[in-house]
Amino acid sequence: MDRKTPQALMCEGFKAMLEFAGMVERMESGQNRFTLGVLLILLLSAIPLNAPSASAEIVCCNSSEFELHLVGNNADATMTPFLSELNGINEKTVTQSVQGVEEIETWTLNWEHSDTIPESTWDFSIDYEVQDAIGVHANATVEVKIGDKSYSGESGNPGTYLSQDGTVSVSVEIPERFIRSGDTIAITFAVRSLLFTQPGDDTAIRFVWGEDTDSAISVNLPLLDIEMPNALIVGDEVFFPIILKSGFGDRMWTSLEKAEFKVNGALIADVRSPSLVSGGVEIPFVWSPSPGSPDGVRTVNFSIWLNEGDMPIQSERNHDINFAEGGGGDSYEFGEPLRTAGSTLDVDIDVEYDSDKVRRTVEFGIEGAMAQWLRWGMDNIGNTSLRSDHFFDEGKNWPDIDPSKHQNGRVDTEEVEALQGWIDSSTWNLKDFIDSGLALDPESLFEGNLFDMSPEITIDLHDVVGISDKLLTIRIDILLELSGQERLLLITDFARPQLNTPIWSGIDLSVTLTTSAFSGLYEVESDGIEVTHYRVGIMDVVTIDVEGLNDQDNFDVKYTVVGNALFSPFVTLLASVLLLLAAIVAGWRMTRYRSRIFIFASTPVFIGIVGYAYILSALPPTFVMGIAGACLVLMVPIAIVSPKRYDEQFLSDGSLDDDFESAMDREIPTVNCPACGTGNPVESQERPLRLPCGGCGRTLRIEA
């Protein structure tokens, strides 16, 4: 938001009048001189007598030399003065088989502030490494394109000798010229005429740039303008606006290493949300003076550090503060909030799978600059002064809103309903809102095509209707119809990568997927993120809880639903329990005359294995039932190898001699075989009892 005080506007008008005066004085007509005199008198009479002695704003600074570091590759290749924006290393390898010119990369920078570039020499440097050779002769060229003009430089002919590893440097002469906002600065680096010394089979030269390298171009550019408008007194607070205008736009604030603002030497930590202005950003620093603070001049100092270890860029001015007169009105007028000033995003996804349908609720909890931007946008729906590509511009056919509600510094119910209705009216609008408005990927947040899901949208301001950065919640409900077994997307990386300063400073993700008793999951696949899958009773549960995600994280989670109730959690649990019971009963009956110690030991082991497979591991239903069946099969050999047990009636706690004497003294009942008359001893108390006759071999049945 550009502010010009009445004094500044008056000065501009006065300059225009002087130019007009010069033109008129060249005329010979006396009547024209008389008219000019009248106009000058009227202009001077409009100058207020109590105008402050201090100027309305201070402008800093002149063009300066600094380094633009090379970052990114292909379409994302750009340059930045901020080390904080370097992330990762990029490279390109050129082999000895390459003939002619090999372009390594073109780094492009979109300039956002009109100014004059002084005549200077730009020095380009890029790190390299020679592989499988002692060195290489190469001719390196650099082309600098500013707007529609190109300038070039080269390392010289027949070529520079590059040994092992180091840095290639090329200088380019740049004449004085004007650069407009919107112009592009492009740097192209290329090599040709490569001649390797003692090459091997894998000879090549590798160029690297990015993090932890010295690859950069030293330039002389108008880095920054610092403007300090007059202080504004609002209630008990004093607002000191700082306007930063730079070819790097709002990144001149969001990517800084450090910034300090002081009033009479006292550090001010209260910084309100920045606003966009033409070519830069406005940052309000807020001073809360102690009660009874006297009027007078306050000296403010503003310092910024581009990178750690750099010399600070400093500016200073005096403000004549008069608390009695005020001068700020009832509130501080914010412009469009800066979306990249830091925002947190809580994504809470709740998925319910039941038979042939999936219900999904996606809820965005937004705090910080994005929450303020959304509230500001709703208050500016259909604003004709917005640029044509702005999300809230008038070209989206917004619903009609009472003109009295427009741009009144608060979000009215009609404005919330207008945005909600516009999003809800079309799936294309919903996708555009998620993509352009929230910088998220709609295809990564939903398991199917939004056109088939009948989305419903709800916006909750949590009773905060001012242009505030407090919590704002957006909820999207969808319903997906299924047919049979399907493999669906649960979640994947959904934050749009931001080349420079990201919109989201921190993303927390919480996902919960539950199923019904007769509709389960066959399997869950995950990559790059921790997923918990378990079964509670007769339903599947999948949970994901991650904090601190960013737009560079890559992850993917998919799940396969079972279209057959035979593999549902209820049937799987029932079948597993029945198989375990069958195994226990079979083992118990097979060891009727044997020791059951192995059965007692194996039973809890089998129950634990099946329980772990069903509950904690949440293996596919076929695996769980297969494990339960294996337990039944294993119980058979366990029962067979169990040792025969000794009847307790023959054994005592005494010695073997005592047991022998006791056995000799004990009367053993006998039964005579009705066929042959042979007496057969009956040692067991079990009834009915079958035993073979010792004489004829017939089977005798004893009932009592």
Categorize the per-residue pLDDT at 499 as very low, low, confident or very high, splitting at 50, 70 and 90: low
pLDDT of residue 666: 60
Q: What is the pLDDT of residues 97-107, one digit of tens each?
A: 777 889 999 99
Residue 646 is predicted with a pLDDT of 53
pLDDT at res. 403: 77
What's the pTM value of the predicted model, to 2 decimals?
A: 0.69
CA 352 – CA 512 distance, rounded (Å): 8
Cβ contact 317:242 at 8 Å: no
Q: List phi, psi (to 5°) of 244.
A: -110, 115
Q: Is the pLDDT of residue 539 over 80?
A: yes
Mean pLDDT of 486-491: 88
- Is pLDDT of 174 > 90? yes
Summary mean pLDDT of the chain: 82
Q: What is the predicted pLDDT for the residue at 202?
A: 87
pLDDT band for position 128 (50/70/90)? very high
Percent of the chain clearing pLDDT 70 (strictly above): 86
Q: How many Å from the N-terminal Cα to the C-terminal Cα in the chain? A: 108
b/e per residue, 271-280, with b = 16+ CB within 10 A? Answer: ebbbbbbebb
**Distant-in-sequence, close-in-space partners of 67: CB < 8 Å, separation ≥ 6:** 81, 216, 217, 218, 219
Q: Tokens representing 467?
A: 């242009």
In the chain, what is the greatest distance between 2 CA atoms, to the nearest angstrom? 165
CA 328 to chain centre: 38
3-state DSSP percent of the chain in helix, strand and coil, to 5? 25, 40, 35
pLDDT recorded at residue 657: 60
User: Quick check: 5 pLDDT over 70?
Assistant: no
At residue 308's C-alpha, the angle toward residues 306 and 311, to 5°, is 65
Query: Which one of 12-26, 172-186, 674-688 scores highest in mean pLDDT?
Result: 172-186
Among candidates 678, 702, 700, 698, which has minimal Cα distance to 688? 702
Q: What is the mean pLDDT of residues 270-280?
A: 85
Low-confidence winner among 3-17, 168-182, 526-540 (lowest mean pLDDT): 3-17
pLDDT, greater one: 245 or 702? 245
From 199-203, 581-585, 595-599, the region with the lowest mean pLDDT? 595-599
pLDDT of residue 189: 96
Question: Worst-scoring range by mean pLDDT, 43-52, 99-108, 343-352, 380-389?
Answer: 43-52
The residue with greater pLDDT, 19 or 125, is: 125
The residue-averaged pLDDT of 127-132 equals 92
Q: What average pLDDT score do residues 252-259 get?
A: 91
More confident residue, 56 or 276: 276
Task: Of 221, 231, 341, give the one whose Cα is nearest residue 276.
Answer: 341
Residue 654's pLDDT band (cuts 50, 70, 90) = low
**% of the chain with per-residue pLDDT over 90:** 35
